[in-house]
A and B are shown apart, each in its own frame.
Chain A
């Protein structure tokens, strides 16, 4: 049973089909990327999965329950961290719980142990603007995680970070995924990022856009040191670039 699944998603804008018969699935503990050029409809697909937009046809299933066009099941994270500047990091992290009418105290108790896991110790009472870009992004990830522990939807979450911070966040995220049972659906246009992080990659292309290819990254290759500098990595990269 797939954790998250879309079945035959079709979406029109102004009578023009933008997504056609999109079928993807995400298994427990997986990181799956959706790779495609800008404007192809990646964010539209995310809006549909998050329940913000209704598809013309098709369904979104979370653990085999239909959640099409309903919000409150899956949250996502964008390139902008969207942390509220007037709330402390703790105040931001418990925000999803407050939206679900969970008492503040209870939400804080639940969130507290994750600050260490997310590398955010002692930032509970700080305001976001006092943190570095990388830390803010981690705080936003924690907020997303606190909302839907099953699935994280990440829409180009690292693309605003500088190259060095981005690399640090990448390796941190891979470690995090081993520590907590995290399943991630990632939108990106960064081919390197997709190969480096993903278990599987969906290629979204064409007009209207559909999944034209699914690439599985060999888990053994991923474990190699300096995977991103190896020939195997370049083979994947060439293959993907040809597809796009």
Chain B
């Protein structure tokens, strides 16, 4: 099995980024594009430093929403996966609906949730749950179902109970699936929290974004975009790190 190294920022991509930054700075310095439309990298950094404490306090709110949403979403996804794996009629009845439900755009549900649940954290958390449980449910179910039937048979000859089968075979066999779905869900969580804050709220990076947008402060706008990307990257890296710690046998693979 080929191992994915999705965020391996090595030399060549770094060079490309550096090159883009230089071109961007030159375009801004020579006023090829007016600075209110495209702020220079330097002014973006200045905006970031200037608004640092405000950005951090808003980021904290967004992270909190993403965290609770992700936690509940992952738990819900796991639960649904187990139930669908245990009861085949449930799988047949629910699985197609789950897939269809994913065609509903997040941006469209966000205002409804605000309408129903108010301007606080709750609608944001609910939106994060809705977007994060799906990858987990689908991937875990795939993992459960991909377990070698001969292995299940062998465990049965040993007298394994249903729960022991999950604990010793199905869960560990699906860990790879779990972590790849978690990487997707983590970035979904941040994006959904931000989108949800756009629609209405008192604080968070999404709220900050709409404010600076209305103020035409595009340097701050770029600063917050980079911050969101950076947060997502760090979280994905964190998931990879935990994965390596939790799955030491993958490291010893020849």
Contacts and interface: CB of A to CB of B under 8 A. Distances in A.
Given A85-B249, A86-B172, A95 B157 contact: no
Interface stretch (B12-20, B145-153, B177-185, B207-215): B145-153
A129 B157 contact: no
B180 to A, nearest CB: 16
Given A99-B160, A129-B253, A129-B254, A52 B155 contact: no
A45 interface: no
B101 interface: no
Interface residues on A, range: 20 to 34
Interface string A156-197: 000000000000000000000000000000000000000000
A100 B172 CA distance: 20
Give chain A's interface secondary structure class.
loop
Contacts of B157: 50-52, 71-72, 74-76
Contacts of B175: 86
A52 B172 contact: no
Secondary structure at the B interface, as helix, strand, loop or mixed, is: helix
A167 to B, nearest CB: 25
Contacts of B249: 85-86, 127, 129
B151 A82 contact: yes
Q: B153, B158, B248 — which one has the most chain A CB atoms within 10 A of its CB? A: B158
A80 B173 CA distance: 16
Q: Which of A47, A95, A147 is the most central at the interface, judged by chain B CB atoms within 10 Å of its CB? A: A95
A221 B202 CA distance: 90
A78 interface: yes
The 3 A-B residue pairs with the shortest CB-CB distance in the complex, in nearest-first order: A72-B159, A99-B158, A127-B249
Interface of A: 47, 50-52, 71-72, 74-76, 78, 80, 82, 84-87, 95-96, 98-100, 126-127, 129-130, 147
Given A84-B151, A86-B247, A100-B158, 8 more contacts: A71-B157, A80-B150, A82-B151, A84-B169, A95-B155, A98-B168, A126-B252, A129-B253
14 contacts: A50-B157, A75-B154, A75-B157, A76-B154, A80-B148, A80-B150, A82-B154, A85-B249, A95-B158, A95-B168, A129-B252, A129-B254, A130-B254, A147-B158
